[in-house]
């Protein structure tokens, strides 16, 4: 038996990279999969038959899958992606919001177009795909799992990715809110901050390490996401996991002990309590891109 026998999963941006790895592993574990991909280039331009190729490879080994090429970044696209699942398989149980693009610039060089498009695909796209699935699960009284893709660029920051980081930080907030709202409906919501070498990172400057690249393959992220989507993670909602071939670790927003004035206080009072206000410097760590 597979971990996802009888389940139907929608995976956006599944024509390559991480989404493709998720789709193939989910199908192997018994899920019927809607492979969504508009076929765009990394910066959001162009078209291809990427989704159909992944579907053909899944079907060839005995899996069940259908392709969908709708744009995640508008409400009609989100509705059509859900409709593909209902028409083909009669239900939906799992949504993985994975589709994304990059337009990296330093903040001073980030145009309004660069800002809007990246936020439209990542943050609005997550909204557009989640809302119809959320309503369908709620209205049909069915439990479900929604996994949204955040990033260490949003959770910790990364040079040259103000637009991307802002969108990914917004997704973290959405995970937290929907995990609270989903409790009464049996809808689990989790976030993943994946670290893998994909085409989105192919042009990122830096020295490539073949041994590290072999560890940071999308296929080494997929088992962590499978865990999140399966009943193995039934007791976990509202949590974000950093996942790669090197680690699977929860990421949390934390507070220090803090300074607790009784009523009015001065800026100098805050300065006097700096050791309680801030985390110790030795708790800082170098966070890899994702």
> Mind telling me the catalytic residues?
164
Exposed e or buried b per residue across 142-160, where buried means at least 16 C-beta atoms within 10 angstroms of its C-beta: eebbbbbbbbbbbbbebeb
Number of Cβ within 10 Å of residue 64's Cβ equals 15
Q: Are 247 and 199 in contact (CB under 8 A)?
A: no
| Location of structure tokens 């072999």 | 214
C-alpha neighbours within 13 Å on the C-beta side of residue 284: 7
Q: Hey, what are 201's tokens? A: 């990172």
- Long-range contact set of residues 179-184: C-beta below 8 Å, sequence gap at least 24: 179/237, 179/238, 179/239, 180/238, 182/134, 182/146, 182/237, 183/237
| Location of structure tokens 């119809």 | 132
Q: Are 132 and 74 in contact (CB under 8 A)?
A: no
Instruction: Give alpha helix (H) positions in 193-256.
Output: 210-215, 222-229
| 3 state SS of 130 | helix
Q: Are 23 and 54 in contact (CB under 8 A)?
A: yes
Q: What are phi and psi of 112, to 5 degrees?
A: -60, -35
């Amino acid at each position: 038996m597979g971990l996802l026998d009888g389940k139907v999963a929608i995976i956006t941006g599944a024509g390559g990279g991480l989404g493709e790895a998720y789709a193939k592993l989910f199908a192997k574990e018994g899920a019927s999969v809607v492979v969504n991909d508009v076929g765009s280039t990394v910066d959001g331009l162009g078209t291809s038959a990427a989704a159909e190729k992944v579907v053909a490879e899944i079907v060839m080994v005995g899996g069940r899958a259908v392709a969908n090429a709708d744009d995640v970044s508008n409400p009609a696209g989100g509705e059509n992606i859900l409709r593909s699942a209902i028409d083909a398989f009669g239900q939906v149980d799992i949504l993985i919001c994975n589709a994304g693009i990059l337009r990296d610039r330093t903040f001073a060089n980030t145009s309004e177009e660069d800002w809007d498009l990246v936020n439209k695909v990542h943050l609005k796209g997550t909204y557009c795909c989640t809302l119809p699935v959320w309503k369908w699960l709620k209205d049909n009284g069915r439990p479900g799992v929604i996994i949204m893709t955040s990033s260490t660029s949003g959770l910790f920051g990364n040079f040259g990715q103000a637009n991307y980081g802002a969108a990914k930080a917004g997704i973290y907030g959405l995970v937290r809110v929907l995990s609270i709202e989903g409790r009464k409906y049996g809808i689990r919501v989790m976030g993943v901050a994946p670290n893998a070498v994909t085409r989105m990172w192919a042009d990122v400057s830096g020295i490539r390490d073949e041994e590290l690249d072999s560890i940071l393959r999308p296929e080494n992220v997929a088992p962590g996401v499978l865990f999140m989507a399966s009943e193995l993670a039934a007791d976990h909602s509202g949590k974000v996991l950093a996942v790669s071939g090197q680690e699977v670790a929860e990421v949390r927003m934390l507070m220090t002990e803090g300074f607790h004035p009784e009523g009015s206080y001065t800026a100098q009072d805050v300065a006097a309590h700096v050791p309680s206000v801030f985390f110790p410097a030795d708790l800082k760590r170098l966070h890899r891109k994702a």
